[in-house]
Amino acid sequence: MHTRRDFLLSAGLYTAGFIGLRALTSHPLAAASAELAQRGAARLGFGPLQRDPAGLFELPAGFSYVKFSERGQEMDDGLLVPGMHDGMAAFAGPAGRVLLVRNHELESAWTDGSAFAKDKSRLGKIDRSKFYDYGHGVLPNLGGTTTLVYDPSSRRLERHYLSLAGTVRNCAGGVTPWGTWITCEEVNDLPETNAEQPHGFNFEVTPSAEISLSTPVALKAMGRFRHEAICVHPTSGAVYETEDIGDGLLYRFLPTVPGKLAAGGRLQALKLRDKFGADTRNWDANSFPVGRALAADWVDMDDVESPRHDLRMRGFAAGAALFARGEGAWWGEDAAWFAMTNGGKAKLGQIFRYRPSPYEGTARETEAPGTIELFVEPNDSTLVSNADNLCIAPWGDLILCEDTNGVCRLVGVTPKGEFYVIGQNPVSGRELAGACFSPDGSTLFVNVQKPGYTLAITGPWPRGRA
């Protein structure tokens, strides 16, 4: 039997996904501005970016990258590296290796990025029972995850293989305190052509250095919607979920058994205690304040498998708050952090912080509710433009991945709301995703979604900030 005590013990065994953020939870916010960004880049960043002769990624002096696991390469299971590299997390592997579990945001018709080859000639290399949705063999769903075994000492990829098959548009996800990766389907309301299963769910993948396909189990109690990312409150086991749509909600899943998501639970949506149906997006007016922690309640949701794709509409009608394209999510020292990609007057993005109640998810929660705070909303593309995935650096800053039609950057954000650039892809429109640090903090991994490859960045990373 998996008890609450077992869960709390396992929650102490953090993976790389839970490194840092002590600093970000203990300092006041300072208003962001272009001048602040310039000072922050000089004082807090790593220096000006250097031109990359290969034209792939520009970094400050003293930093370098290696590129690996490119779309279309043959993997160790005989399949091809799928395209559309997206969310990712790093886990401690055997003998100092790092295990990366990586999403692929593919639809069934996007055969150019298929792990099974465009002509489906490699489809027979895996058992049909390991597909969540085989698409009647006509259009099998091409999303899912790959697992990579990387040696940080030699800076070499040792193995990569398909670890989840038959899902669709696996966008982001999140690490759990018990050492697994939750991968999230971001779907539209219409089913895939030739679909055998409903989509829009989360799936759990256990990292392994050995080639193994996960048994695909849809975590239906966590809701069906345009999932993006999750993070887990390690004390209560509550799971926070973002929704990637302009009128989306912020959800909380309270598992019946902490750490056992497939055992079911209760889905809720966040609402402000003092504002029914609040609009946090600030598109038309600055109605949601920056830097003010507001009391939050949670609305119970029903019919969570939502065959009509109307979960968010029903939640809003019940008083839940609206958010602008919820994307990245990450748990820090004592708070959950979320990126809303096109929030703010300029629609350039917002970062929110949720601090749970000391009684999170229990009947006593109303005595001391959790709080939601708009941490930064820069409305200035020189600071950040459409932050998508995010993670927390070992020295306590947020690291944001940009998804924009222009040059996409990795941007750091300090506890005072100061911005600085870590690196950038000089080719416009190449979305960055899946930023995460190795368990020892020596390597920052990031994906370039198109054309599809992973980078491992090393250099003089700080180990902490005074």
Q: Given this model, what pLDDT does residue 333 score? A: 87
| Share above pLDDT 90 across residues of the chain, in percent, rounded to a whole number | 85
Range 364-367 contact pairs with CB under 8 angstroms and sequence separation of 24 or more? 365/298, 366/297
Q: What is the pLDDT of residues 153-191, one digit of tens each?
A: 999 999 999 999 999 999 999 999 999 999 999 997 777
Q: Given this model, what pLDDT does residue 465 score? A: 45
Mean pLDDT check: name the lowest of 4-8, 42-46, 155-159, 382-386.
4-8
Contacts of 428 (CB under 8 A, 6+ apart): 405, 406, 407
Question: Distance between alpha carbon 199 and the CA centroid of its chain, in Å?
Answer: 19
Query: Taking Cα atoms as reference points, which of 203, 59, 222 lies closest to residue 130?
Result: 203
pLDDT class for 287, splitting at 50, 70, 90?
Answer: confident
Structural domains of the chain, with CATH: 4-69+167-458 (2.120.10)
Q: Given this model, what pLDDT does residue 399 score? A: 98
Rounded-to-10 torsion of CA 278, 284, 287, 291: 110
In this prediction, residues 435-446 reach a mean pLDDT of: 98
Contact 113, 142 (CB under 8 A): yes
Q: At residue 13, does pLDDT exceed 60?
A: no
Compute the mean pLDDT over every residue in the chain, rounded to the nearest whole number.
91
Cis, peptide link before residue 198, omega less than 30° from 0: no
DSSP letter for 257, please.
S
Q: Given this model, what pLDDT does residue 29 score? A: 35
Q: Given this model, what pLDDT does residue 264 score? A: 97
> CB atoms < 10 A from the CB of 129, how many?
9
Q: 3-state class of 127 per DSSP?
A: coil
Amino acid at 172: A
Residue for token digits 């994307």? 327
Q: Given this model, what pLDDT does residue 43 score? A: 61
In this prediction, residues 81-99 reach a mean pLDDT of: 98
| Share above pLDDT 70 across residues of the chain, in percent, rounded to a whole number | 90
Q: What are the residue ranges of helices labelled H in 175-277?
A: none
Q: Given this model, what pLDDT does residue 193 score? A: 79
How many angstroms separate the CA atoms of 425 and 461, rounded? 19
Q: At residue 12, does pLDDT exceed 50?
A: no
In this prediction, residues 367-383 reach a mean pLDDT of: 97
Q: What is the pLDDT of residues 200-211, one digit of tens each?
A: 999 999 999 999
- Can you point out the beta strands (E) in 51-175? 59-60, 64-68, 85-92, 98-104, 143-151, 156-167, 170-175
Q: At residue 253, does pLDDT exceed 60?
A: yes
Q: What is the pLDDT of residues 136-161, one digit of tens each?
A: 999 999 999 999 999 999 999 999 99
Query: Taking Cα atoms as reference points, which of 451, 335, 349 lies closest to residue 402?
Result: 349
| Beta strand pairing call for 49-50 and 408-413 | unpaired
Q: At residue 30, does pLDDT exceed 50?
A: no
- Give me the phi and psi of 111, to 5 degrees please: -70, -15
Contacts of 403 (CB under 8 A, 6+ apart): 327, 341, 386, 387, 388, 431, 432, 433
Contact 442, 393 (CB under 8 A): no
pLDDT class for 448, splitting at 50, 70, 90?
Answer: very high
pLDDT class for 7, splitting at 50, 70, 90?
Answer: very low
